[in-house]
Amino acid sequence: MHTIKTPFDSCLEVILTAHSKELEIAAAQKLAQIYEQLLKQIVKDERYQDTNPTHVDGGVALSSRHALDCLEDPLRTVRFIAGLYYALKDTLASIKQRPLQILYAGCGPGAPLLLPFLHEFDPDEIEVTLLDLNPTSLQSAKQLVDHLGLDAYIRVYELTDAVTYVHPKDLGLHLVVSETMDKGLTREPQVRITQNLAQQLHPKGLFIPEAISIFAEHTFYGKEPYYDIYKKLQDLPPLYDTADREHLFTIDKTVHNAAPYSFESEPRKVPEDYSLTPDVAVFAEVQIYKERELKKAESLLSNSVCILSLNNVHSATYTLKHTTKGTPEWKLIEN
């Protein structure tokens, strides 16, 4: 039976059970405050305040400070924590091997998607690999784990690139979590990390998020709701009435591993009258685990990305191309 108490206990139950956005947002705000206080108290040289990102093939790894700021993306944070918690319970039930191997790829300075509930599990049943490319993040995460008395759960701290990391085969890999994405699968390396790690998963293993679906549409971009951490999610305008929405592709644990992933759409028609929807945009919807999802504009991850105004397209059709080589990005090609 676990006996560890952590400062997260004051908001954990709400995070795991909340069924309204208001409760989720309040719990996320509390968690972000707890993290700021804890890190300030524990990491004396404040290395987690570092603001230098790292550029590698496949996408940008956020600086420690910017990774920590992701806590201010409330529905993302709460739904990932709860999704991962229930995914771990389900994996413990479906795979008999012990200890189960959990990999947190891109843990940032606080490993916030896992640490708040880790002590609810038996340390003999699970072993965690905390991985990040950023030394100041990994060092802060280790100091935090030690301070919270959670070191019995951690197998190793890996300072490495999750796009190329190979997990020891003899241990198996049963549950992976990686939240390394920006809107519309641009900039950050979520896809390349998924390509590398999903192929190493146990056949019954889970990858969190379970699925990321990308949609294209015509819209009035300036009228779209757009969340950022300086806005209140509750104050965003309603969804704009867009046109010609089309599902382009979905990334999940079955993604092929022929890196780098790329995608090219079928030709899309330029509408005759596009006065109400003059912009070409894409957005992602994220299925974190089972019913826990991020719908359009509920999070930094599911904001829309404007690719180009139709006023600048001179052909009758166009193609959308996504590449994950270098830094992930979208291009519109006139046909």
Ligand X SMILES: C[S@@+](CC[C@H](N)C(=O)[O-])C[C@H]1O[C@@H](n2cnc3c(N)ncnc32)[C@H](O)[C@@H]1O
Query: Six-digit token pair at 152?
Result: 């019995």
Binding ligand X (rule: CB under 6 A), the pick from 11, 15, 78, 107 is: 107
Binding ligand X (rule: CB under 6 A), the pick from 162, 214, 248, 288 is: 162
Place of tokens 């965690």: 128
Reduced 3-state DSSP string for 214-278: EEEEEECHHHCCCCCCCCCHHHCCCCCCCEEEEEEEEEECCCCCCCCCEEECCCEECCCCCCCCC
25 or 70, CB closer to ligand X? 70
Question: Considering CB under 6 A, how many residues would be counted as binding ligand X?
Answer: 24
Distance CA(73)–CA(178), nearest Å, equals 16
Least separation, in Å, of the C-beta of 301 and ligand X? 9
Distance CA(69)–CA(229), nearest Å, equals 8
Binding ligand X (rule: CB under 6 A), the pick from 106, 184, 209, 328 is: 106
95 or 144, CB closer to ligand X? 144
Find the binding residues for ligand X in span 51-90 (CB under 6 A): 56, 58, 61-62, 67, 70-71
Closest to 212 (Cα-Cα) out of 165, 169, 179 = 179
Find the binding residues for ligand X in span 119-148 (CB under 6 A): 131-134, 137
Contact 74, 298 (CB under 8 A): no
144 or 163, CB closer to ligand X? 163
Interaction between residue 39 and ligand X (CB under 6 A): no
Residue type, 281: A
The span of 157-165, 240-248, 284-292, 304-312 binding ligand X (CB under 6 A) equals 157-165
178 or 265, CB closer to ligand X? 178
Parallel, antiparallel or unpaired: strands 175-177 and 154-159: unpaired
Distance CA(13)–CA(24), nearest Å, equals 11
112 or 205, CB closer to ligand X? 112
140 or 265, CB closer to ligand X? 140
**Residues at the site binding ligand X, with contacts judged by CB under 6 A:** 56, 58, 61-62, 67, 70-71, 106-108, 112-113, 131-134, 137, 161-163, 179-180, 189, 193
